[in-house]
Amino acid sequence: MVYIDETHLEETSGYQLYQRDFTHNTCYVWHTLYRTDFIRQNNITFIPGIYYEDIPFTTECLLKAGKCIRAHYPLNIYRRRGASISDVASFNMRQAQDFTTSIIRTWELRKMEGLSPDIKSTMKKKLYAYYASLLYRILYKTNDSTEQIRMVEYLWRNASDLICSFSFRQKLGFVVYHLSPRLFIPAPKWAWKH
């Protein structure tokens, strides 16, 4: 696996790249190139037919990669489409379901054998960022409150064991979220008003 970095060439591990270089707002698609034999030997696949499939795919690749090389020169040219999912101004139920599926699949990777507590902690932080990003999109890119409730209920039903809060504010959000998705929609908007 090769990670593109403009400053230097360095041999590293997938764990190190995951912990150090990949954040919730990293565009995963163009950052990495993979050896086909690595993908096949580790039985790593995209979730077919969904948006946001690159999050669990790249996470699994990094967690299974023993050796990675960071390159200082471009190895591929990625052209972003005008209709890219990340450029869409609104957010719909299909996108919410796909993002939830992506979060769940990534959350399940914590069960892989041999993951250190440090890696699991990093996973929790990254998953909280994905979760917060999903809630942001539901709250601020969806104008229909009924649709917002449906999206949060879908997340609640399908990712009920998702626990990745750290600060008091995050813990409070998770408590409200787990009590009822119907309470969650008005609460953040009210709490964030000045």
Q: What is the pLDDT along the chain (194 residues), one digit of tens a residue?
A: 555 555 567 788 888 888 877 765 665 666 778 889 999 999 999 888 888 888 899 899 989 998 888 776 666 666 666 666 665 667 888 888 898 898 889 888 888 888 888 888 888 888 878 887 887 888 778 888 888 888 878 877 777 667 655 667 666 766 666 665 555 555 555 444 43
Would you state the pLDDT for residue 39?
A: 94
Would you state the pLDDT for residue 194?
A: 38
Task: Tell me how far apart the alpha carbons of residues 20 and 131 are, in angstroms, rounded to a whole number.
Answer: 20
Alpha helices (runs of H) in 52-179, residue ranges in sequence order: 54-64, 93-108, 117-141, 145-158, 168-179
**Helices 54-64/117-141 angle, 10° precision:** 170
Would you state the pLDDT for residue 150?
A: 82
Tell me if residue 143 falls in helix, strand or coil.
Answer: coil
Closest CA to 102 of 53, 139, 136: 53
CB 103 within 8 Å of CB 159? yes
Question: Residue type for 58, please?
Answer: T
**Global model pTM greater than 0.85:** no
**Residue 123 main-chain phi, psi, to 5 deg:** -60, -45
Would you state the pLDDT for residue 163?
A: 63
Tell me the CA distances in angstroms from 191 to 145, 172, 173, 187, one per residue in order. 17, 11, 11, 6
Would you state the pLDDT for residue 185?
A: 57
